[in-house]
Amino acid sequence: MTDEIDKLKMHSPDLTQDNIAKIRALFPGCVTEAAGEDGAPTLKVDFDQLRQELSDAIVEGPQERYHLDWPGKRQALITANAPIAKTLRPVREESVDFDTTQNLFIEGDNLEALKLLQETYLSKVKMIYIDPPYNTGKDFIYKDNFAKAKEDYEIEAGVRDLDGGQLVSNPESRGRYHSDWMSMMYSRLTVAKRLLMDEGIILVSIDDYEQSALRKLMDEVFGERNFIAQLTWEKGRKNDAKFFSVGHEYMLVFGKNVSKLRERHESWREEKPGAREIWDEFIRLKQIHGDDFKEIERELSQWYSDLPKGHPAKKWARYKRVDKNGPWRDRDISWPGGDGPTYDVIHPITKQPCAVPEAGWRYASPDEMQRQIKLGLVEFRDDHTEPPFRKAHIRPAPGEADDEQSDQVADEGGDTEEDGADAEFATQVRGSYFYKQSQVSVKYLRNLMGGKVFTNPKDHEELAKLIEYVSPKDRDGIIIDFFAGSASTAEATMRANAIYGSNHQFIMVQLPESLVDAEKNTTGTAKKTVQAAIKLMKKNNRPPVLSEVSKERIRRAGAKILEGDTHPDWNKDVGFRVLKIDSSNIADVYYTPDATTQADLLTRVDNIKPDRSPEDLLFQVLLDWGVDLTLPITREVLHGKTVFFVAGTALAACFDDGVDEVLVKDLATRAPLRVVFKDTGFKDDATKINVKQIFKSLSPDTDVKAI
């Protein structure tokens, strides 16, 4: 029937079939029909024909080549591409500001989460930061087989869990082998890459043991041409070490497409430490002395002297001169690299041409030089026998556009600096090495949570600086951490927003690992930490699982941030929607109709599982349609039926029974972009048949679907 309502597929994308479709578009003769596992015809790649098409580029047989391989790699890629019939179920009672927040906390296996998110967030994520489990020879368990199986899973054999996922672990009996860890990471990084925007970046923390393997793995997934840096995070000396104190970790930084970053002329800079404090002191003195810049200079000089040793502002004490644009220092006015232009620049007092720098003037034309002079950005010497110099303000003044010409000047400390003309304060390129004692974050969390509940949390303040550093042009980007752990990334995102006035959104993913099981398998300090976490969960009437501790940390951190001073441009969003991964809301007959017997048909008239709510169905529809999971949702009762409206008219959904043409016409007059009904929810067959015709007449642009 031509007017039958289209059905939503209700499972994650099948990337294998998508890739075959791309090959078919390029080489149509290389894709043919063949029998699938169920005997039905399906599209397959004819590799013999494809080899013929690519005869000049194929690497045949055992020929030597540069590549990365390990046992399980092929299966890991198949796992990354395989679709899953799962969903995300909203949990309002565990959320904060569910109806208004732009943040998500997903509880469940991270590979499943990434697969479920890939249609909604394909090429939309600005930054991914993960701190994956390090390969210590201890267990790391993730469900890595998503084949659509029947209900008689091999649970008794201990190889599958209740959801049918094969349990992949790295037990001590297998030692610290690389292969299991590499397979676990390969599938997740492969899917995660799809979520990144072209200008997006990924940062991965790792220790010495798997650093080299991870670097090769990321070279393969992201391409070594997209490698940006390997950062070294020094956390403090370990005096119990036998040979060397290895107190550092690494952070590998890759872009999805570094050339796209360059095309946007994106340069990463951070505020020079202490610059903001210098500016604040200038503002304070200006309120006292007005335009008496000599007096401001005198008191500012004394302020520098009084700063304690080691204060970051002491390094910038050369910003000791003051004018209407604030503290400044002198900079060279000659052409970078030599062979610059020469022309007359008249000294304002002697009226004689000033001496020309040996390398020529910094500005290409006399007109530009005069413009800089009028802006007050050029300072003349006592007479014309020496060239003037440029001013560099601690907070660049209007017209300080030096960076447009890639000016680089040697810093007094031997570094290289580049002051951004559009920066709020004087800036510098961040170094690849940084130090932050690990106990700082441990003590902070102990105070925040009321006990030591995480053994080695990442420092949220350092992560906040990194978030700001790598997103100068994306002030409202999406940030994902799919190994959320202590949820440092969530707090770091909120901190960065509160300090710098950005409005980044976070998506955290955490497996609900049992703390009770962890307590049984740990000793010493780690055991005490787990016990403290269990106690905290009992106190808050929460289940003793790691994801619950993570959520509690975000709740407390958000409240604490709101207590302090925040940037006026921040939207103050410290909430999050909790979504839990679960089996599909749709009964198994939807996915395996061949397994349904005639005797079952009468019991399966409604294909919706009986324990699922209308809001559960709504979120599966959002996933299937690729609609943003953080859009505002409202409910209305129309003609006795509950209707969900997502972001006004982005989507309308009614999952009640007895839907009639009156309601259908009402919805059509509102012209939503999308509308969805339950396939068995219509009052009668006539209504079901007429739905598409009604929308075609009243709202032809509406996409009409059913589940």
Residue 701 belongs to domain with CATH number: 3.40.350
Comparing 273-277, 372-376, 447-451, 530-534, the range with the smallest average pLDDT is 273-277
> In the structure, what pLDDT confidence band is assigned to residue 29 with cuts at 50, 70 and 90?
confident
| Same structural domain, 287 and 250 | no
- Most confident among 33-47, 310-324, 477-491 (mean pLDDT): 477-491
Residue 132 neighbours by CB distance under 10 Å: 20
Per the domain annotation, does 3 fall within a domain? no
| Same structural domain, 633 and 496 | no
pLDDT of 267 reads 81
Per the domain annotation, does 214 fall within a domain? yes
d(CA 7, CA 705): 6
The CATH number of residue 481's host domain is 3.40.50.150
- Burial grade of 585 (CB within 10 A; 0-12, 13-18, 19 or more): buried
Structural domain containing residue 146? 86-264+443-579
> In the structure, what pLDDT confidence band is assigned to residue 593 with cuts at 50, 70 and 90?
low
| Same structural domain, 171 and 278 | no
pLDDT of 622 reads 97
Q: How many CA atoms lie within 13 A of 204 on its CB side?
A: 30
DSSP assignment of 170-218, as one string? --GGG-S-HHHHHHHHHHHHHHHHHHEEEEEEEEEEE-HHHHHHHHHHH
Instruction: Tell me which DSSP letter residue 564 carries.
Output: S
pLDDT of 425 reads 66
pLDDT of 88 reads 98
> In the structure, what pLDDT confidence band is assigned to residue 401 with cuts at 50, 70 and 90?
low
Residue with the bigger pLDDT between 591 and 287: it is: 287
Contact predicate 237/245, CB 8 Å: yes
d(CA 608, CA 538): 35
In sign, the C-alpha dihedral spanning 398, 399, 402, 404 is positive
Q: In the chain, pLDDT over 70 holds for what percent of residues?
A: 85
Per the domain annotation, does 588 fall within a domain? no
d(CA 208, CA 404): 40
Mean pLDDT of the chain: 85
CA nearest neighbour of 517 among 546, 551, 549? 546
| Same structural domain, 417 and 275 | yes
| Same structural domain, 534 and 457 | yes
Residue with the bigger pLDDT between 670 and 176: it is: 670
Residue with the bigger pLDDT between 37 and 691: it is: 691
Residue where one domain finishes, among candidates 579, 612, 628: 579
pLDDT of 403 reads 40
Per the domain annotation, does 503 fall within a domain? yes
Contact predicate 92/613, CB 8 Å: no
Instruction: Tell me which DSSP letter residue 601 carries.
Output: G
d(CA 48, CA 60): 12
pLDDT of 53 reads 67
d(CA 116, CA 82): 11
> In the structure, what pLDDT confidence band is assigned to residue 145 with cuts at 50, 70 and 90?
very low
The answer on pLDDT for 321 being more than 50 is: yes
> In the structure, what pLDDT confidence band is assigned to residue 59 with cuts at 50, 70 and 90?
low
d(CA 588, CA 85): 9
> In the structure, what pLDDT confidence band is assigned to residue 56 with cuts at 50, 70 and 90?
low
Contact predicate 622/120, CB 8 Å: yes
d(CA 675, CA 694): 12
Per the domain annotation, does 585 fall within a domain? no
Name 391's bridge partners: 330
Per the domain annotation, does 591 fall within a domain? no
Instruction: Report the predicted TM-score, pTM, of the whole model to 2 decimal places.
Output: 0.81
Instruction: Tell me which DSSP letter residue 509 carries.
Output: E
Residue with the bigger pLDDT between 393 and 9: it is: 393
> In the structure, what pLDDT confidence band is assigned to residue 404 with cuts at 50, 70 and 90?
very low
d(CA 163, CA 147): 11
Which segments within 494-622 are labelled E, that is strand?
Answer: 505-510, 577-583
> In the structure, what pLDDT confidence band is assigned to residue 480 with cuts at 50, 70 and 90?
very high
d(CA 94, CA 91): 6
Residue where one domain finishes, among candidates 379, 400, 428: 428
Beta-carbon contacts of 74 under 8 Å, excluding residues fewer than 6 positions away, are none
The answer on pLDDT for 301 being more than 80 is: yes
pLDDT of 605 reads 55
> In the structure, what pLDDT confidence band is assigned to residue 417 with cuts at 50, 70 and 90?
very low
Contact predicate 426/392, CB 8 Å: yes
pLDDT of 239 reads 67
Total H helices, total E strands in the chain? 19, 28
Residue with the bigger pLDDT between 143 and 16: it is: 16
| Same structural domain, 399 and 476 | no
CA 183, chain centre distance (Å):
22
| Same structural domain, 178 and 74 | no
Per the domain annotation, does 481 fall within a domain? yes
Which tokens hold the place of 55?
A: 């005869």
289-308: average pLDDT: 95
Contact predicate 421/403, CB 8 Å: yes
| Same structural domain, 72 and 114 | no
User: How many structural domains are present in the chain?
Assistant: 4
Residue where one domain finishes, among candidates 44, 79, 114: 79
The answer on pLDDT for 171 being more than 90 is: no
pLDDT of 190 reads 95
CA 151, chain centre distance (Å):
36
Contact predicate 332/362, CB 8 Å: yes
The answer on pLDDT for 621 being more than 60 is: yes
349-367: average pLDDT: 96
| Same structural domain, 121 and 240 | yes
What is the per-residue pLDDT across 432-452, written as a single tens digit (0 to 9) for each?
988 888 888 999 999 999 888
The answer on pLDDT for 624 being more than 80 is: yes
pLDDT of 549 reads 95
Residue 164 neighbours by CB distance under 10 Å: 20
Per the domain annotation, does 391 fall within a domain? yes
> In the structure, what pLDDT confidence band is assigned to residue 639 with cuts at 50, 70 and 90?
very high
Contact predicate 420/427, CB 8 Å: yes
In sign, the C-alpha dihedral spanning 203, 209, 211, 216 is negative
What is the per-residue pLDDT across 506-548, written as a single tens digit (0 to 9) for each?
999 999 999 998 888 888 888 888 999 999 999 889 899 999 9
Integer-rounded Cα Rg, in Å, for the chain is 31
DSSP assignment of 391-443, as one string? EEESSPPTT--GGGGT--EE-TTS-EE---TT-SS-EEPPPSEEE--HHHHHH
| Same structural domain, 320 and 242 | no
67-87: average pLDDT: 89
| Same structural domain, 152 and 184 | yes
DSSP assignment of 283-348, as one string? HHHHHHHTT-HHHHHHHHHHHHHHSPTT-GGGGGTT--EEETTEEEEEE--BPTTS-------B-T
| Same structural domain, 136 and 43 | no
pLDDT of 164 reads 39
Residue with the bigger pLDDT between 168 and 565: it is: 565
Instruction: Tell me which DSSP letter residue 480 carries.
Output: E
- Most confident among 39-48, 147-156, 273-282, 603-612 (mean pLDDT): 273-282
Distances (CA, A) of 398 to 270, 279, 675: 19, 16, 51
